[in-house]
Structure 1
């Protein structure tokens, strides 16, 4: 017994070395962002509600977080991981069993005397964690719980970004429909003017046909925009866990949307901000612990047990300790199975190192691209705003000159088309600027705590 306990002590000391010491892989991160124009500030938004300050969007996001089925499934996966962790932790503790039994015997050949025996057996067993396998299992399970929690944060982040994207896309489509309707009304007014001039002999049949063609072209855009609006609102309803027939966005225009300035911070912040990076690292921690489990299986296992028996307990009998035992077991040969498990665990860890490093690189790329997209959208919006102003002026002048008979209809038609395209492009540029902010916020890991 003393020798077995000595082996156990040595085993506990030796077991610490079987699980490799975890070190975070060194990722190649730039020192700063090339396109970063906004300095880090405590006033920079760190939550979705602070990003656009839109009351309806905040309400829709809260509804999505409460009702989205993908997010609910991610929460259940956390429960599964926690249950697995409890199973792993239970192996660090002793376990006991109790058996209650009795018998009755009667001599059928004799005088019919009756013999009885009643006993209960209590056994307590404990697996000595000689090489740290059980502790490594607990560490791996805890890391996998963390990974599932970060996976849920990733799901939540994507959900919030999608809700915001579909919401603002809906507003942009409403603006584009309003622009198309306004230009449709203007085209009808011009059609009436051309018809009057034609009736008076001041315009040709070609003028009438050209303006009618332009009018029909604008009319044809309206149903397509309406269909896009219906599909976008249906996609948003799906994220909210609703049926699309009962859902509409109340806000009518993108015009009043606040365009946020987002401080990207430093590239190294992504290692803590991005939930997908944290999940990849948690998986790596678990795989590192799995190596310790696989290595420990190569060595002997030890179990302590104690058994107590109570005899004739129904008639007030006595209790007796039946046994105190120690057992050591070691697999003699297995065709290389256990060493293969060690190699598999090590290869899995090395694979997850590469996965982690790739996840970090992807996160850097996404932030860099998003910063560039924000800058490009700002420039494009500014240029298209001036373009719309000039297109509106050109159409007014061309219409006035045509009405006075000093300009042909073709110039008016070209000006009309240019204004419609410019106004529509400006709305799409504003939407691109909003989407760039959404993508940047998501790429930064949205919802981080301000330092």
Structure 2
């Protein structure tokens, strides 16, 4: 009975000490300066479908394939699996460990005694060896917290890799269609300039135009013609980028020849009062990094205190006969108390390192919040300004078309100046090419809005 009382007392003491966890308990930041951050990360419902609003079958096909074939995404998924495997391995450290073993040993002259000269001793050992580190001060629990945060961070980064991949595919698709459109505009402009050149030639043959006028129109023609190779390079570059994102060889995407940039039927809208920070994977990743580094402080602090471990054996020891029974049953138990008392300076240094890492992680998290807010605001403002610029350029292009038609009719009738025609040609070329560039720019900035808002932006 006294022995049972002692055992019970020891068990209660061990359980009480095991409930102690040193180091700071992590509290998720809820505010950075005047910015509230009080919601856990979640992937937006539209993150995997927002591009469907463009109603572009080719874009849908490209993104669907990229989500399956892209190797960076495969790498991010494997990183999640690895992180959770590390977590499970760390979590298991708090449980007893054991192994089954069977061994044979033969020894001659096992002692220095002369009576053992020439004596050969044989024996068998069969049984289970067990060991258990009693987590008195929470070192293993803090390590599990750090591994949990690291695994959750890897999962968040995988979601972020999907958002980034979709944005890259959409942006590169816009660049491809934009290069197609600009190339088509250049070819149409060459046709228009050829018409003007034919008019000048006809008037030159009739003695109504000069060689200078012909040379001036040819300068403009060859200027546009010289831009065509650069546009073809831009088209090839966009094709190569898309091919790489889809893990495919360039030139095999079969994107079609219709140079139409995707457009939304309705404008995008930001919901008032919505905390879009919770959809930002980079912010959530930085927060999980902070949680892991905070837990590391507890891991390092636990080394200031003693560590208790228990090892044991349960099995059979036998001689040459290799018999198993109650007569040769064996067990052993060996509690061990260890303490880094002679190396506390190094322990304290590791604690300071962990605290510095946590401070750095906090600063990184706070900076990431500021960066995210700036990124979201800039993406909205940039898109709005790009749309204003595009609308103004559309009106400019329409006006330049009218001016060119009037100038060409007057010049052909002999009542207009050649310089007026030349200026009208130049203005129309510039306006149409600039409009094509702005259409591509507006699409790219619209994609940037979806990316910066984690795909959580909605249509009105």
* Structure 1 length-normalised TM: 0.89
Q: Show the counterpart of 1:98.
A: 100
Per-residue CA distance 1:91-110 (angstroms, 9 max, x = gap): 01111133323456899x99
| CA–CA separation in structure 2 for the residues paired with 1:192 and 1:19 | 83
Aligned to 2:3: none
Q: 1:315 pairs with 312, 320, 323, which one?
A: 323
Q: Is the 8 A contact 1:157 1:446 kept in 2?
A: yes
2:374 to 349, 353, 365: 365
Residue 395 of structure 2, aligned match among 365, 369, 386: 386
Is the CA contact (8 Å cut-off) linking 1:233 and 1:249 kept in structure 2?
Answer: no
Structure 1 unaligned blocks of 5 or more: 32-41
Q: 1:181 aligns with which of 159, 176, 187?
A: 187
The equivalent residue for 1:27 is: 32
Q: CA deviation at 1:76?
A: 1.9
Aligned to 1:396: 405
Q: Which residue of 1 aligns with 2:153?
A: 147
> Alpha carbons of 1:141 and 1:44: their partners in 2 closer, same or farther (altered >3 Å)?
closer
Aligned to 1:195: 201
Deviations 1:131-185 (CA, angstroms, capped at 9, x unpaired): 1111111111011011111122222212111111111111111111111111111
Q: Report the RMSD for the aligned CA atoms in angstroms.
A: 2.8
Work out whether residues 46 and 449 of structure 1, in 8 Å CA contact, stay in contact via their aligned partners in 2. Answer: no
Note if 1:345 corresponds to 2:350.
Answer: no
For structure 2, which runs of at least 5 residues remain unmatched after alignment?
1-5, 37-43, 110-114
3-state DSSP of counterpart to 2:101: strand
Which of 358, 362, 376 is 2:385 aligned to? 376
- Counterparts of residues 230-241 of structure 1 (less than 5 Å): 230-241=236-247
Q: Following the alignment from structure 2 to structure 1, what is the Cα–Cα distance between the partners of residues 392 and 120?
A: 107
1:217 and 2:226 aligned? no
**Alpha-carbon distance in structure 2 between the residues aligned to 1:358 and 1:230:** 38
Report what 1:36 is aligned to.
none
Correspondence for 2:162 among 153, 156, 162:
156
Q: In 2 relative to 1, CA 28–362 (structure 1 residues): closer, same or farther, beyond 3 Å?
A: same
347-356 or 419-428, which deviates more: 419-428
Structure 1 residue 265: Cα displacement: 3.3
The 3-state SS of whatever aligns with 1:14 is coil
CA–CA separation in structure 2 for the residues paired with 1:255 and 1:123 = 69
Query: Would the alpha carbon gap of residues 334 and 449 (structure 1) be closer, same or farther in structure 2, given more than 3 Å must change?
Result: farther
Give the match's secondary structure for 2:33. Answer: coil
The equivalent of 1:77 in structure 2 is 79
Q: Distance in 2 between matches of 1:45 and 1:276?
A: 15
Larger deviation: 279-288 or 326-335? Answer: 326-335
Cα distance between partner residues in 2 of 1:253 and 1:19: 59
| Aligned mates of 1:279, 1:341 — CA distance in 2 | 24
- Report the Cα distance in structure 2 between the residues aligned to 1:74 and 1:19, rounded to whole angstroms: 31
Counterpart-to-counterpart distance in 2, 1:171 and 1:368: 27
Contact 2:270 2:457 in 1 (8 A): no
The within-5 A match list for 1:55-134 is: 55-103=57-105, 117-134=123-140
Q: How far apart are 1:335 and its partner, in Å? A: 5.6
Partner of 1:38: none
What do residues 372-399 of structure 1 show as CA deviations (whole Å, max 9, x unaligned)?
0121122112211111111000000000
